[in-house]
Amino acid sequence: MPKGKILSLASALAMGAMASVAPVGANAAESELAVTYEVEVGSLSAMRIAYKAALTADGYESTASIKTKGLADLFSDYRMEMASAGGFAAGALKPSHYRSESKNSKKTKVLEVRWKGDNPAVASTPKDKDDDALVAPGLTSGLVDPLSMLLRKAVLQEGQPCPSVERVVDGREVYDLRFTLSGEVKLGSKSPGVYRGKALKCSMTYTPVAGRPAVKFKKKGGVPSKFDIWFAAIDPAGSGKAMYVPVLATGKLQGMSFVAYAREASVDGSKLSEN
């Protein structure tokens, strides 16, 4: 699974927390969200994901960063910064621009996606004509970037966050994330992270559609990667309308088991804690 697909997991976690922001059409002032996730691989802390978002009745802006830490940082000093913005029209989310910059000690890569109407166009620096040609067949209408993905889920789907299928473009590839509901569980004292209480457990599969990862995916037999994600129902404003924050995820990355959990989170300044 490419490093970029660590972002798919991050999207389902950090960006999925956008589902906890006030829905479109709500008569609310600006909503703000901040979440930090810890990712452990083989019981060792390997990565930290930080996410911030602001949502108004007119549009949204969000940023996220991923960085290796601990022993992982000694072998791969990987960093990634992302930003996304868009608006709303007729009750639907309309992304306008997405940018990611990934770097290590050897190189820096910038990916951008811009929408004209409902049609996305990609650009990369340094330019990679092969990547651009491979992703081109997947650039259809209705795509969203990773940071906008689960905000669209919140806008278009009331109630629980699963099931759904989201088609995502990140500038290098197009892929499907399929969510199915496994059921309601309770996260107890043995669960990592800040949250304790009832949660909805969902399964998520990642399937490449276009781009270089899709070519490799087909050559290897086309078996989608699978993750489990737990969403906590939160009502910080006391409105009686549940909103969902992803608080835990498990699965495998490049054959190694991992766990990712929310170490701290706040919605409009109210901290998420034990429930």
pLDDT in tens, 83-96: 999 998 877 789 99
Residue 234 pLDDT > 80? no
**Distance between CA 186 and CA 215 in Å, rounded?**
39
Q: Which residues pair with 231 in a beta bridge?
A: 200, 246
The percentage of residues in the chain with a pLDDT greater than 90, rounded to a whole number, is 48
Tokens of residue 4, six digits:
């970029």
Entry field: residues in the chain:
275
Enter the pTM of the model. 0.86
DSSP letters spanning 105-160 = SS-EEEEEEEEETTEEEEEEES--HHHHHHHGGG--TT-B-TTTHHHHHHHH--SS
Task: Give dist(CA 227, CA 178) in Å, integer.
Answer: 10
Q: What is the pLDDT of residue 56?
A: 85
pLDDT number for residue 175 = 95
Is pLDDT larger for residue 56 or for residue 121? 121
Q: Which residues pair with 228 in a beta bridge?
A: 203, 250
Of 252, 256, 166, 170, the residue nearest 207 (C-alpha): 166
pLDDT range class, residue 188, cuts 50, 70, 90: very high
Maximum Cα interatomic distance, the chain, rounded to a whole number of Å? 51
